[in-house]
Structure 1
Amino acid sequence: MIVVRVELWSAVTGERTELARAMIHNVGGTLDVGDYEAETYRGRSSDALDAAMRARQVTRRGKVTGHRRQALHVWHLVGKALASMGYGGQG
């Protein structure tokens, strides 16, 4: 599984605050082409996100099919997963 964390790093104090978290699960495919499910969790702090993961408090779910895992960098997969959940629009 791939865990993506979004953190705010203060330039003033050096404090790190986790703002969001997503998980991408491999659900099949071959060595070259993979299928994935993705989800984001409720919360805006590490403690809240940890609790949400344990309780399966998912805010959005998505799927990526046919991802060329050997040919593309992992950021392509992250972008596809976020798009499949409705993130990244003009909102």
Structure 2
Amino acid sequence: MIIVRVELHSAIDGQKTELARMMIDNIGGTEKVGDYRCRTYRGRSGEDLDRSMFTESVTREGKVEGHRRLDLHVWHLVGKALQAMGYGQ
């Protein structure tokens, strides 16, 4: 599984705050081409997001199918996952 975290790093005091979290799970495919389930979790702090992952409190869910995992950088998969869940539109 791939976990993508969005963190805010304060330029004033160096404090780190987690704002969002996404999980991308491999659900099948071959060595070269993969299928994935992607989910974003409810909450705007690390503690809330940890709890949401434990209780499976998902805000959005989607699928990426046929991703060429050996040919493309992981950021391509992240972009496809966000698009599959309706972000950035």
Q: TM-score range by the shorter chain?
A: over 0.9
Runs of at least 5 residues in structure 1 that lack an aligned partner in the other structure: none
> Deviations 1:36-76 (Å, cap 9, x if unpaired)?
00000000000000000001000000000000000000000
1:86 is paired with a residue whose SS is: coil
TM superposition shift of 1:14: 0.3
Structure-1 separation of matches of 2:56 and 2:34: 24
TM superposition shift of 1:25: 0.2
Structure-1 separation of matches of 2:75 and 2:88: 14
1:12 is paired with a residue whose SS is: coil
**Aligned counterpart, 2:5:** 5
Runs of at least 5 residues in structure 2 that lack an aligned partner in the other structure: none
Q: TM-score by structure 2 length?
A: 0.99
CA RMSD of aligned residues (A): 0.3
